[in-house]
Structure formats: C-alpha cells, structure tokens
Amino acid sequence: MAFLSLLLTVFLQGQAADPSPAELLKSIDEQSSSFKDLTLEAKLVIHEAGPNSVREVGLTIQAKGGKRIIRFTSPEDIKGMGFLLENADTMYAILPAFGNRIRRLGTKQIGQSFMGSDFSSADFLGGKFSEVLDAKLVSSDAQVWLLNGTAKAGKESEYSSRTFRVEKSSRRLLQIEDFGAEGKKGRTVTFDEFKKVEGDSDCVLPGLWVSIDHLRKDHKSELRVLSAKANQGLGDELFKKEALVPK
C-alpha cells in the first residue's frame, strides 16, 4: 500500500494545475501585445445581403502602445480615408472627399459598425481583456477551456457578458461570443490561421478573423491579415491626428 501511495503522490505532483480564468485572460493579452509597434496589411471582406454581394476593403493598421492608426488603400472611393484611435474615448477620422478635413468622432461611434462590417472600431483598439473583465470557468474538456467574462466593478462594457474559447495546448483565443441584454447572443468572432509576427517571435496573431452578427441575420465579415511586422521603430509622431493628412 505504501508503494501505491508513493506512486499516486508522484503522479499528482506531475500534473500541472489548470491556470485560473484570470491567468488565462492575461495570457491571451500577452500573446497578442508583446510588440513595441506593429504594422498589418489586411483585407476586410464584407458579405452583404443578396447574391454575389461582397465588398472588399484594403487597409493598413499600425499600432503602438494603446494607439491605432488605420488607413484605407482600396477601393478608390475610400482610398486615403483613415482613422486614429487614441483610446476608448477618442477617435479621429480624415475625410478626403471633404478636403482632408479631420473630424473627431463621438464615443458611441467607437462601438458601432466599422465601415459597415461586423467589426467595431473598438475591436481594433487592442484593449486588454484582463483589465476590464472578471472571468469564470464555464467548462473544460481535453482541447479547450470555456470562460465567461463580465465587466469588473467600475468598468464599462458594451456587452452584458462574453464567452471565450481558449485552446489548451497553446492558450490561444479561438472564439468570442458576445451577449447583450437578457442573455441574447449578438455576435460570434472566430480566430484562425495563427502565425508568428515577423520581428517578434513571442507575438502570435490570427491571420483570419470571422465576425458574424446574429442581430443582422447572421451578416458576416472577414478580416484577413496579409502581412504582419513588429518592432520597426515607428515614431510617436505617426500616431498624432495631424499624421492622418497624406504627405
């Protein structure tokens, strides 16, 4: 019996304890924000209602600290447009059609549809889940943890709750489901095709984001990352509203 007891003790000591939900959210944040600066070339594909109604938008996204600058490269009717997201409360847009006028947008617009897609401007801000959400473990199987997150005391969220599917082997975020009032599911965002970012081997980002808006009859949009480079020494001057104006 003593021998069996010893074997059981050794076995249990060799089993790593599951991370807490808070640790998992922090791990997700760290994987996607280890860079000093980041430049993405991407394509946004919006599936409109009706047959063969697909709209494609080319864009460049640059990030440093908590700021994001987004510039549109195609199609021609929006080429030159851009947004500067300074934080969750401050966002500027440049409108070439109106003489490159820079306009400050209201806080509510940050949480609204981005260019008619099923993403919001807030999705590009890169905020840290662990700073705004309290998480609880809902379920666990051999492949994934399922977490439920609600806003911390004193923090605001546009959703009443969010669920996170996290892959156990990599601790990567695979999917988010957003719920509104009365627990009604509003949106599902799935992440796939993960790749290490050039210039930062610790930064792993999904190459494909798929967002489905269940309140718009499952309207769907995809963000496909064409290239990703980190730590190129982007200057702070690139993230000022004046930088939106093309040279």
* pLDDT(247) > 90: no
Q: Which has more pLDDT, 61 or 53?
A: 61
Question: Is the CB of residue 151 less than 8 Å from the CB of residue 132?
Answer: yes
Residue 13 banded pLDDT, cuts 50, 70, 90: very low
Q: What is the pLDDT of residues 112-141, one digit of tens each?
A: 899 999 999 889 887 889 999 999 999 999
d(CA 35, CA 198): 10
Residue ranges of domains in the chain: 18-244
Cα–Cα nearest to 199, from 40, 57, 88: 40
Q: What is the pLDDT of residues 67-101, one digit of tens each?
A: 999 999 999 999 999 999 998 889 999 988 778 88
**Residues in CB range of 107: below 8 A, 6 or more apart:** 88, 89
The predicted pLDDT at position 46 comes to 95
The predicted pLDDT at position 5 comes to 54
Q: Phi and psi of 24, rounded to 5°?
A: -65, -45
Question: 191, exposed or middle or buried, with CB in 10 Å at 0-12, 13-18, 19+?
Answer: buried
β-strand partners of 212: 188, 220
* pLDDT(16) > 60: no
Question: Is the CB of residue 170 less than 8 Å from the CB of residue 19?
Answer: no
Q: What is the pLDDT of residues 147-206, one digit of tens each?
A: 999 999 988 888 899 999 999 999 999 999 999 988 899 999 999 999 999 998 888 899
Q: Which CATH class is domain 18-244?
A: mainly beta
Q: What is the pLDDT of residues 191-242, one digit of tens each?
A: 999 999 999 888 889 999 999 999 999 999 999 999 999 999 999 999 999 9
